[in-house]
Amino acid sequence: MTGSESWRPGANLAVLRARAQLFATIRQFFAERALLEVDLPLLSGAFGSDLCIEPIVAQVNGAPGYLQSSPEFFLKRLLAAGSGDLFSLGHAFRDNERGRRHNPEFSLLEWYRCGWDEQQLMAEVEQLVLAVLGDRPVVRESYAKLFNRAVGLDPHRASVADLHRRAVACGSWVDATRAASLDLLFAELVEPALPAGLVFVYDFPACHGALAVVEDDDNGLPVARRFELYCDGMELANGYRELTDAAQQRQRFEVELAQRQQAALLAPPIDENFLQALQSGLPPSAGVALGVDRLLMCQLGCNDIDEVLPFSWSRCR
Amino acid sequence: MATFSTNDFRSGMKVMLDGDPCNIIDNEFVKPGKGQAFNRVKLRNLKSGRVLEKTFKSGETLEAADVMDTDMQYLYEDGEFWYFMEPESFEQHQADATVVADAKLWLREQDVCVVTLYNGSPLSVTPPNHVELEIVETDPGVRGDTATGGTKPAKLTTGAVVKVPLFLDRGDVVRVDTRTGEYLSRARD
Crossing angle of helices A246-262 and A272-281, rounded to 10°:
160
B120 contact partners, CB below 8 Å, separation of at least 6: B66
Contact status, residue A249 vs residue A281, Cβ threshold 8 Å: no
Kindly state whether B33 is in contact with chain A, defined as any CB-CB distance less than 8 angstroms.
Answer: yes
d(CA A164, CA A176): 6
Total of domains in chain A: 1
Which range of residues forms the domain containing residue A93? Answer: 13-135+271-315
CATH number of the domain at B182, please: 2.40.50.140
d(CA A147, CA A190): 6
pLDDT at position A219: 87
**Neighbour tally for B36: CB within 10 Å:** 22
For B174-189, the pLDDT digits (tens) are 999 999 999 999 987 5
Mean pLDDT, range A52-62, rounded to an integer: 93
Average pLDDT over all residues of chain A: 94
d(CA A39, CA A45): 18
CATH number of the domain at A63, please: 3.30.930.10
For B30-82, the pLDDT digits (tens) are 998 888 888 999 999 988 889 998 888 888 899 999 998 999 999 999 989 99
Same domain membership, residue B167 and residue B141: yes
Same domain membership, residue B122 and residue B79: yes
pLDDT at position A176: 84
Q: Find, in chain B, the residue whose alpha carbon is nearest to that of A238.
A: B33
Least confident of A53-57, A166-170, A201-205: A166-170
d(CA A171, CA A67): 33
Choosing from B97, B126, B155, the residue where a domain stops is: B126
Q: Cβ A238–B34 below 8 Å, yes or no?
A: yes
> Residue A247, exposed/middle/buried by CB under 10 A (0-12, 13-18, 19+)?
exposed
Choosing from B126, B147, B176, the residue where a domain stops is: B126
Total of domains in chain B: 3
Q: Find, in chain B, the residue whose alpha carbon is nearest to that of A181.
A: B36
Note whether residue A241 is domain-resident.
no
Q: Find, in chain A, the residue whose alpha carbon is nearest to that of B41.
A: A171
In B46-111, beta strands by DSSP E? 51-57, 61-63, 67-77, 82-85, 92-95
Kindly state whether B38 is in contact with chain A, defined as any CB-CB distance less than 8 angstroms.
Answer: yes
pLDDT at position A226: 96
Task: Quote ipTM for the complex.
Answer: 0.83
Question: Which among A209, A4, A100, A83 has a CA at the least distance from the CA of B34?
Answer: A209
**Neighbour tally for B50: CB within 10 Å:** 11
A317 contact partners, CB below 8 Å, separation of at least 6: A1
Q: How far is A181 from chain B (nearest CA, A)?
A: 9
Phi, psi of A16 (to 5 degrees): -60, -40
For A76-101, the pLDDT digits (tens) are 999 999 999 999 999 999 999 999 99
* CB nearest B55 (choices: A96, A173, A210): A173
Amino acid (1-letter code) at residue B66: D
Q: How far is A64 from chain B (nearest CA, A)?
A: 24
Crossing angle of helices A178-185 and A160-170, rounded to 10°:
40
Q: Cβ B55–A171 below 8 Å, yes or no?
A: yes
Mean pLDDT, range A138-147, rounded to an integer: 97
Which range of residues forms the domain containing residue B167? Answer: 130-186
Note whether residue A233 is domain-resident.
no
pLDDT at position A114: 98
